[in-house]
Amino acid sequence: MNLRLTFTFTILITLLGLDMLSAQLLPFRSYSIESGLSESGGHDLLQDSKGYIWVATGYGLNRFDGQGFRQYYEDNGLSNNRVHSLLEHSDKKIWVGTESGISILENDSLVTPSYLAELSGIPIQDMFEDRQGNVWIGTSTSGLWKLNQNRTLQHVSEDKFPSIVNVEAIGQTEDDAIWVASREGLLRLEGDQSHQFSEQDGLMADEFLAITVDRYNRVWIGSTEGLIRYDHESFRLFGSEEDLNNLQITTIAVLNYSTIWVGTEGGLARFDGSQFTNYTREQGLPVTIIRSTMIDREGSLWIGTLGSGISYYSGPLFQSFNIDTGLPNNVVTGFIEDEESNIWIATYGGGIAVYDGDELTVMDESDGLVDNKVYTFYKDTDGRIWIGTSNGISIYDDGRFETFEAFGINFRSVRKIHRDDSSGHLWIATYNDGLYHLREDGYDHFNTSNIFPNNTVMDIKKDDEGIYWFATYGGVAKYDGENFEFITIADDLPSNGVIHIYIDHEGDKWFSTFNGPARYTDGQVERLVRSRQIDTIFYFAIQDAAGRYWFGTNRGMILFRKDDFYAAQTELDRIFSYRYFTTNQGLIANELNAGGSFLASDGALWLGTVEGLSRFDTDLIRENNLAPGLEFEEILISGNSVDPNREYTFTHDHNFLQASFSGLTYDAPEQVIYEYRLRGYDQEWQIGRENLVRYPSLPSGEYRFQVRAFNADGAGGEKTAQFYFTILPPFYFQWWFILSMLTLFIGFVMFIIRYYRVRKQVDIEKMRVQIASDLHDDVGSSLTELALQSDFLQAFKISEEMRSTLKQMGEQSRKIVTSLDDIVWSIDARNDTAGDLTDRMQDYVNQMFNNGKFEVLYHFEELDMDEKLPVQIKENIYLIFKEAVNNIVKHSNATRADIRFSFNGRDFELLVHDNGTGADINRKTGQGLNNIQMRATRIGADVEIDSEKGFSIHVMGKVE
């Protein structure tokens, strides 16, 4: 191949290269005033049983939930805004030691109980509850106090150690001995015995600032001379000889047997049992004066500082570099490892940095590099390193750079270089100038003018079958040595903008695009994100030494749990198959770079970003199996705050639920997943990362809001926080209103029915009166006239036969008039009362017994004379009465009759009884008795006829 290498610049890097002391930045995540902390001093730290982090500051008490701070001040009941110490009592109440005594937080209210009033005005430095339930209190001006279980306060210093004034820390060993660190000495109290240690006991310090008893029953003591360990046999001092950079130990936190963290006036130090590793500003610590430390229940370290709030450190997962620690430029675009295991770092504008494990060495144009804007590296089988830049290609070999030239091509923006070892051919991918294929006898230039879909080619890979794969901004190009084949969005590629291609250990291809990742297997493209459009750019894919898959994106690194992804049964399972690692976990920046990934021989991943680089030790990843704490932060109903621990009933116009809650985990608080639902409204669980949900315009009903929290590794879900409430329907939907309306409706319908009935009855009565009047006036008068005419004609001389006929005609006419009179009376609506009936009865009796020899007694005393009788009842009762009287007149030899009638609106009764010797009620021709039976049957009444002791007719019935 006719390729010419032109020597441009020769230099011995070891003699003239620029060496820069490199300090790795460790992932300290800081929270201070700009994060919402009330003041920049972290005097003490506490994680309570719920999972909240409490911070004692110089201006107020702070509670942290991973997302924000809540403050408590004197206005909230705090005895003094300057807070020194914190304690969670066994009764789950938070004790707050301040500059002026102790306040206790209970049900979100701060109070100072009367049994602690004696401490008011005294600065409280430390509080410790022993296993017996006594609370030991260290002060800075009056020594040691003890609050006994019976809530009596004892001034221990005054009784036993008057010289002990400034108590800094208190602890307890397994033998129940109380250890006290003070400015005036170290004390041990066991029962009634006590001892103040001195030089004779082997103690090599006089002033003590901290004390911690670890779970191995070792006593660690912070002094002004260094760290002291007491192992129940002797004291041992660790300090300058063990590389501790500052001897004034202010705080101690024990992670495990060989990891003891100490805070000093000069920074943070980790002690492994024999040696200290110091952390200062150079390693990313915001300030060097440390006031407090704490290990949370997830195993991470919290640091309280003087001047920069609090910091969180989860371990050396990431070690980072930027221009402040030796990088020539923060934009890192690629890596390669040379034969001596040095890591070469490509930067855009700063040339190359080489890291040997201790120091960074920078090489740039002054050293012969063709251009400082470096994109990519390629190491050939000869150990030479090819460097693709914005303005050409350099080859580093034997300590010097040479510029690569071939066929007069001006190589610009070289994004990838690949040399085929079998043929010696070179493939060079460029940004906006297509793909070059260089052979011994010439070259091919593939671009949009011939076959390529786009002139930007970002990556080149060759698989085990000898097929080349090219990532372009027009899709993926596949070359088998003779023909090109293209894979685009038409083949379900997420985007034609392909940035990177990775071939995994199984031979599958992974395409990173501007719209998500895709897997190519068995000739098919598989999208890994369901959404057709996402806001995450995927720059590269890579596998670590353990075979785990990683994606570099503009939102951080993503651990892709491939097996979990394909085994997922639910959307929640799919979510947990992706795990983000971001700046919160120590990555120097969330915006990764194309080409900015490399797996080094030691198993570390090197990652290039727009703000520097991070070395990612994936072997240190620990899965967090501790479920996050879960608490409601606030429940609002139509803007009004309510207690989530109570059940409520609200009116229909209070129907807007707003709930905020916190999943209390601090490893990745922004990655907490919430499952929530409103029972009575939601059919299924809803999934999201937001810790605030709203339900406006809820209909009436019984509701139960439920929420569960999961950390970034999927742990959680065991605890469900719940809030019960009921929304009443509007008054017009409530049962009493509906019943009232139904009653009113039924009443109205009944009123209408009755109205029409009454109206119809009135009309009938009017018609009855009209008929009665017409019968009386027309028919009655005509019959009367007929009777008079027959009487008049009898006065003439006529035959006896005619006279007899006229007489019969007159009598019959009068008889008909009498019957008609009864009919008219019964029809006439003006005669419908009981009084009208009894009057008619008396008129008829007077008519029948007009000789004055017959005694008739009426029994109508209990009768309501104004009570109306139904027409049929009135008519038939009267006709039965007439038949009874006629029977007395015709068939009885009685001298007295009793007539009784009663009616109460429903039941009626008629009794007619005489004192005669009786009538024969068994006579076959007794038409009157038959009429009585027939009329009683018409009105559904029972009739009894008796002739044993006088003749009696007894009729009883009910109005239907």
* 678 in a structural domain: yes
CA-closest candidate to residue 548, choices 517, 578, 507: 578
Tokens representing 875?
Answer: 């008519």
Q: Are residues 842 and 952 in the same domain?
A: yes
Rounded to whole angstroms, the Cα distance separating 875 from 841 reads: 12
Q: Which residue has the tokens 């017994």?
A: 849
Residue 450 covered by a domain: no
For 306-322, what is the mean pLDDT? 94
Half-sphere exposure (CA, 13 Å, Cβ side) for 870? 15
Does residue 840 share a domain with residue 728?
Answer: no
Task: Output the six-digit token pair for 210.
Answer: 């901290």
Q: What is the average pLDDT across 480-488?
A: 95
Last residue of a domain, one of 123, 157, 174: 123
617-648 pLDDT, tens digit each: 999 999 999 999 999 999 999 999 999 999 99
Q: Which domain holds residue 708?
A: 629-733
- At 7, is the pLDDT very low, low, confident or very high (cuts 50, 70, 90)? very low
Distance between CA atoms of residues 456 and 415, nearest Å: 9
754 pLDDT more than 70? yes
pLDDT the model gives residue 886: 84
Q: Is the pLDDT of residue 302 over 90?
A: yes
Confidence at 780, pLDDT banded by 50, 70, 90: low
Please tell me the number of Cα atoms within 13 Å of 950 on its side-chain side. Answer: 16
793 backbone φψ class: left, alpha, beta (φ>0; ψ -120 to 50): alpha
The answer to whether residue 173 is domain-embedded is: no
Which has the higher per-residue pLDDT, 755 or 574? 574
> Where do runs of H (alpha helix) occur along 512-640?
562-567, 571-576
What is the C-alpha separation between 751 and 276, in angstroms, rounded? 99
Structure confidence at residue 805 (pLDDT): 79
Task: Please determine, for residue 928, whether its predicted confidence score (pLDDT) is greater than 80.
Answer: no
> What pairs with residue 1 in β-bridges?
none
279 and 301 Cβ atoms separated by less than 8 Å: no
Please say whether the beta carbons of 111 and 117 come within 8 A: no
Write the pLDDT tens digit of every residue in 237-265: 999 999 999 999 999 999 999 999 999 99
Taking CA atoms, 319 is separated from 315, 556, 618, in Å, by: 10, 15, 11
Confidence at 861, pLDDT banded by 50, 70, 90: confident
CB 261 within 8 A of CB 269: yes
pLDDT of residue 860: 86
Q: Per-residue confidence at 726, pLDDT binned at 50, 70, 90?
A: very high
Tally of CB atoms within 10 A around 247: 19
Residue 532 has pLDDT above 80, yes or no: no
Q: Which two tokens stand for residue 112?
A: 């100072």
Distance CA 38, CA 56 (A): 10
pLDDT for 801 beyond 60: yes
The backbone region for 395, taken as left when phi is positive above 0, alpha when psi lies in -120 to 50, beta otherwise, is beta
Closest residue by Cα to residue 902 from 879, 869, 854, 857: 869
Yes or no: say if 460 and 470 are a contact pair by the CB < 8 Å rule. Answer: yes
* Domain termination residue (choose one: 95, 123, 151): 123
Show Cβ contacts of residue 245 under 8 Å, excluding neighbours closer than 6 positions.
264, 266, 267, 269, 276, 278, 280
Q: How much of the chain, in percent, has pLDDT values that exceed 90? A: 71
The pLDDT assigned to 4 comes to 40
Question: Do the strands 896-903 and 855-859 form a parallel or antiparallel pair, or are they unpaired?
Answer: parallel
Higher-pLDDT residue of 657, 924: 657
Token output for 469 = 């794969």
pLDDT score at 8: 37
- Find, among 224, 229, 306, the residue nearest to 260 by Cα: 229
pTM across the whole model: 0.77
Per-residue confidence band for 767, with pLDDT thresholds at 50, 70 and 90:
low
Q: What is the pLDDT of residue 16?
A: 33
pLDDT > 60? residue 869? yes
What's the domain count of the chain? 3
pLDDT classification of 168: cutoffs 50, 70, 90: very high
**Taking 90 as the threshold, does the pLDDT of residue 527 lie above it?**
yes
| Per-residue pLDDT tens over the stretch 367-416 | 999 999 999 999 999 999 999 999 999 999 999 999 999 999 999 999 99
Q: Find tokens 């621990």 and name the residue.
A: 645
- Please count the other Cβ atoms lying within 10 Å of the Cβ belonging to residue 732: 9
Nearest Cα to 19, choosing from 337, 279, 356?
356
**Phi and psi angles of residue 91, each rounded to the nearest 5 degrees, phi first:** -90, 10
Query: Is the predicted pLDDT of residue 15 greater than 50, yes or no?
Result: no
3-state secondary structure of 39: coil
pLDDT, residue 273, reads 94
Q: What is the mean pLDDT of residues 537-548?
A: 97
Tokens of 9: 């610049």
Please give the residue that has the higher pLDDT: either 838 or 405.
Answer: 405
SS3 155: strand
* Residue predicted with more confidence, 734 or 507: 507
Are the beta carbons of 30 and 286 closer than 8 angstroms? yes
CATH number at residue 908: 3.30.565.10
Is the pLDDT assigned to residue 753 strictly greater than 60?
yes
Name the pLDDT band for 921 (thresholds 50, 70, 90): low
Task: Look at residue 771 and tell me whether its pLDDT is greater than 90.
Answer: no
Which range has the worst mean pLDDT, 20-24, 763-767, 810-814, 908-912? 20-24
Residue 938 in domain:
yes
* pLDDT band of 819, cuts 50, 70, 90: low
Provide mean pLDDT across the span 129-156: 96
User: 140: which residues sit within 8 A by CB, 6+ positions away?
Assistant: 84, 123, 125, 165, 166, 167
State the virtual CA torsion across 536, 538, 542, 548 in degrees, nearest 10. 20
Q: Is residue 476, in this structure, part of any structural domain at all? A: no
Integer Cα distance of 3 and 247 in angstroms: 64
What value does the mean pLDDT take over residues 561-570?
95
**pLDDT at 821 > cutoff 70:** no
Backbone angles phi, psi at 877, to 5 degrees: -60, -45
pLDDT band with cut points at 50, 70 and 90 for residue 947: confident
Judge whether 451 and 483 are in contact, CB under 8 Å.
Answer: no
d(CA 73, CA 731): 44
- Please give the Cα distance from 269 to 326 (Å, whole number): 23
Does residue 80 form part of some domain? Answer: yes
Put residue 115 in one of left, alpha, beta given phi > 0 → left and psi -120 to 50 → alpha: alpha
Sign, Cα dihedral of 48, 50, 53, 54: negative
The arithmetic mean of pLDDT across residues 107-135, rounded, is 96
Question: pLDDT-based confidence at 844, cuts 50/70/90?
Answer: confident
Instruction: Inform me whether the pLDDT recorded for 173 exceeds 80.
Output: yes
Does residue 935 lie in a domain region?
A: yes
Tokens read off for 454: 């786009």
What residues have CB less than 8 Å from 507, skipping those under 6 apart?
463, 464
How does pLDDT run across 407-465, given as a tens digit for each residue? 999 999 999 999 998 889 999 999 999 999 999 999 999 999 999 999 999 999 999 99
Write the burial class of residue 142 (CB in 10 Å: 0-12 exposed, 13-18 middle, 19+ buried).
buried
Where does the pLDDT of residue 790 fall: very low under 50, low under 70, confident under 90, or very high at 90 and above? confident
Comparing 296-310, 501-515, 771-785, the range with the smallest average pLDDT is 771-785
pLDDT tens digits along 189-217:
998 899 999 999 999 999 999 999 999 99
Identify whether 721 is part of a domain. yes
pLDDT tens string 323-380: 999 999 999 999 999 999 999 999 999 999 999 999 999 999 999 999 999 999 999 9
Judged against a pLDDT cut of 60, whether residue 732 lies above it is answered with yes
Strand order in the sheet with 310-313: 28-31, 310-313, 301-305, 290-295
Residue where one domain finishes, among candidates 702, 733, 764: 733
Cβ proximity of 940 and 960 under 8 Å: yes
What would the DSSP string read from start to end of 881-947? HHHHHHHHHHH---SEEEEEEEE-SSEEEEEEEE-SS---TT-TT-HHHHHHHHHHHHTT-EEEEE-
Span of 492-501, 839-848, 933-942 with lowest mean pLDDT = 839-848
Residue 531: its pLDDT value, please?
76
Q: How far is CA 319 from the centre of its chain?
A: 37
Nearest to residue 480, comparing CAs of 456, 463, 497, 496? 463
pLDDT value for 936: 85
- Residue 868 DSSP symbol: B
